[in-house]
Chain A
Amino acid sequence: MLITGTGGQGIVLAGDILGEVAIAAGYDVKKTDTLGMAQRGGSVVSHVRIGSRVWSPLIGGGDVDLLLGFEKLEAARWGHYLRAGAIAIVNNQALLPLSVNLGNEKYPGDSEITGILRQHAGRVVFIDGTARLRELGNMRALNVFMLGCASVFLPFKVYLWHDIISRHISADTRQSNIVAFNRGRKEIRRVNFE
């Protein structure tokens, strides 16, 4: 499974939570992040491999079953990693790279992004994560919201998710993160699969 987005969106923590849930459920896990230097703004991707025995921490091209994209361009960037029939869940948000702001490059349109993902993905689901989180008043919980969406397709018990999320989130925002996770589960069930 690939989790993609930009620095500051909580990708690394999302990968950690997913990995720990899978370990707790009795699976072998390897998890690795690819991020450039500095704190924010760059592309970030977390590879999480789950199985009975996992060797390589890096996922090979064409081997991704589930792509969790926190930002549209960053989801499209990894489209070629999807296995035929894979599921792509993409937060319907565009964060413009500097080159686009400066007018040197063009941000791809929605149809282009869908097209890239549809080359392999069996299902592409756009989800208004940012809007739902604004309703919940917790803009920083995108990572657990997206994990909530993914959890519907994964064989792990909900209490495990709640447990591991609680372990990672400080007490004052714990409950609101659980709410965001549950909202993600609800939201993904609501949207129609394209």
Chain B
Amino acid sequence: MTAAKQLLSGNEALALGAYHAGVRVATAYPGTPSTEVLEYIARFGDVYAEWSTNEKVAMEVALGAAYAGVRSLVSMKQVGLNVASDPFMAAATTGIDAGLVVVSADDPGIHSSQNEQDNRHYARLAKVPMLEPADSQEAYDFMAYAYELSERFDTPVLMRTTTRISHSKSAVRAERDRVITGGKTGFRYDVAKHVMLPVFARLRRPLIEERLVRLAEYAETSPLNQVWRGERSLGVVTSGVAYQYAREVFPKASFLRLGMTYPLPRDLLVRFAERVDRVIVIEELDPFLQESLQAMGIKVTGKEFIPRTGELNPDIIAAGGRAAGLPVEIPLPEKVSVASELPKRPPLLCPGCPHTGMFFVLSSLGQRARLPKSRPREPRLIITGDIGCYTLGAYPPLSAMDTCVCMGASIGQALGMDKAGIGQKVIAVIGDSTFLHSGITPLVNAVYNEGRIAIIILDNQTTAMTGHQAHPGTGISAQGKTTAAVELEPLVRGIGVKDVRVVGAFDIKELRAAVKHSLESPGLSVIIVRGQCSAGVVRRSVPRAIDIKKCNQCGVCLLIGCPAIQSDYNEVYINGALCAGDACGICQQVCPRQAVVPQSKSGAAG
């Protein structure tokens, strides 16, 4: 079959590749830049695809399916693998009964993460093979290899991408058809393989080392690793998207492109190095390949002139190459740097966002919000935060989030401050999807250890930041079916929280009362703030406008940080095309002069 070329993102190509490789169970928790892998695979009717509560669970479900003889896929962002590392390490020990591929999408440059980490180290840590596609065609093709390797070597396979591979689109010819391998679904009883009591784990341990030796042998002749003979003067060892950049910067050089970056083919690398005058490694983030080559005794440079932090691009590699005296083929751009002087445009909470009201309340009670020309006041309240759209509440003008480290951390951190004797009731703010992901266990912990903290669960009934994925609270599955919904209020009460309040997200008076109550009450309290996410919801409603006869330009409405409220030459106005109207009304409630009115009645220009 000769398929037409399609323009696919790396994530789409991974999903299609896995589908054609016969995947029947796919799991994930949403996380940029990995989210679309599961979204695309969920569209196929003959695959079971789920949003799992978190990456650890996703890994366990996929492993269970693999134990049952079904090819499975689990996908996550780089920090997701931290969450899933426990079952991941276990899977590396037990091996599998049908192919298991773990997609880890790293985020060099920290486009949408809390840190920058190089997950290639996980392959070495777990002693499992790792593949790194360099474009969408390879993302598609490598999936077939990954499942074959997984089954041939009895191991999970790490498919490592980066933002620039997952989210770039390039041409793909999908040559394969869907093929389901293996026989019937069924569990093979094998205690020594599946039950990791120390006595059995000890038996597995040498098998892992043997597996690595055999994998390294495979890598020597694997078509995943390719050599291009160019000029003898320069040999480039590279992988992933760095390969694309390096081909552009050093078009005449010889190349060893590694599609399989763990374990490495020692003989192939040594032979390549012998046939060129100088070897360099071009890789994003850590000197993972470089240090391995050096350990093999190959004389090589790379990180001496290529940055260890951030995302690479051809300009950065060219600059590094020039500094190292290499023959760079792309011209030095005449840069006119103006970008830094222009006003920045950071992402904001959307117009009509159900988080805005609560953050405005926290911002004013916490003395964060201030009018343009007023002096800053001493901040009050300590607000531990979490990961989601609502982390944007940390930006001015709201400035109402004081910590954000990883999924679910807000509650544990608040308890830690409480137990440290901070002397005030700390507020933890967490979203619904994040709470279900990893907020439940710290809440159990806080109840058990009698924490005196105030927890606010912002329930917008979706996983908003990654693009509106369903979660266990929504009652909708990843494949759009109606399913059982986990209700937050009985869940929280069931854990043992006595003081639980549910408040509407757009009622400022009620929100303020609930926070004040929480701060004054003696024990642990939970406020569930409920309001639907505004993005993607089209509502017919009357936008708000400012009645210029009543407005005295005090600027209070600007403090809610709504993108629809704009100010030009000292006149504040509401952009009617952006305003969420009746669904929100926050600005109407905060205006001290009742100058915000429905657009039709004001006569003011929208």
Contact = CB atoms under 8 A, between A and B. Distances in A.
A58 B345 contact: no
Interface stretch (B142-150, B329-337, B429-437, B520-528): B329-337
B563 interface: yes
Contact of A73 (B333, B342, B389, B577): B342
Contacts of B168: 30-32, 57
Given A79-B336, A79-B338, A116-B338, A98 B32 contact: no
Given A28-B171, A56-B313, A120-B336, A38 B244 contact: no
B339 interface: yes
Interface stretch (B207-215, B565-573, B585-593): B565-573
A38 B392 contact: yes
A148 interface: no
B313 A29 contact: no
B111 A34 contact: yes
Contacts of B342: 73, 76-77, 108
A57 B139 CA distance: 15
A176 to B, nearest CB: 16
A96 B568 contact: yes
A10 interface: no
A74 B339 CA distance: 10
A140 to B, nearest CB: 10
A43 B345 contact: yes
A172 B333 CA distance: 45
Interface string A43-59: 10000000000111110
A20 B350 CA distance: 30
A55 B244 contact: yes
A143 interface: no
A39 B535 contact: yes
Most chain B beta carbons < 10 A, residue from A63, A97, A100, A119: A97
A99 interface: yes
B7 A37 contact: no
Nearest to A46: B169
B372 A103 contact: yes
Given A42-B345, A99-B344, A101-B565, A60 B314 contact: yes
Contacts of A6: 345
B269 interface: no
A41 B350 contact: yes
Chain B CB within 10 Å, residue with most, of A16, A30, A101, A108 = A101
B167 interface: yes
A102 B344 CA distance: 13
Interface string B358-402: 000000000000001000000000000000010110001100000
Contacts of A119: 336
Contact of A57 (B241, B247, B333, B465): B241
A80 to B, nearest CB: 5
A49 B331 CA distance: 17
A97 B563 CA distance: 8
A133 B392 CA distance: 32
A56 B347 contact: no
B133 interface: no
A19 B169 contact: yes
A23 interface: yes
B112 interface: yes
A80 B89 CA distance: 47
A98 B467 CA distance: 23
A80 B348 contact: no
B330 A60 contact: yes
Interface in B437-475: 464-465, 467
21 contacts: A19-B7, A20-B7, A29-B7, A29-B169, A31-B168, A35-B111, A37-B347, A37-B389, A39-B350, A39-B389, A40-B535, A43-B344, A56-B245, A56-B313, A62-B331, A73-B342, A80-B337, A97-B345, A98-B563, A102-B567, A108-B342
Given A31-B168, A34-B111, A120-B334, 9 more contacts: A23-B7, A38-B347, A39-B350, A42-B346, A55-B244, A55-B247, A56-B245, A101-B558, A101-B567
Interface of A: 6-7, 16, 19-20, 23, 28-43, 54-58, 60-63, 73-74, 76-80, 84, 96-108, 116, 119-120, 139
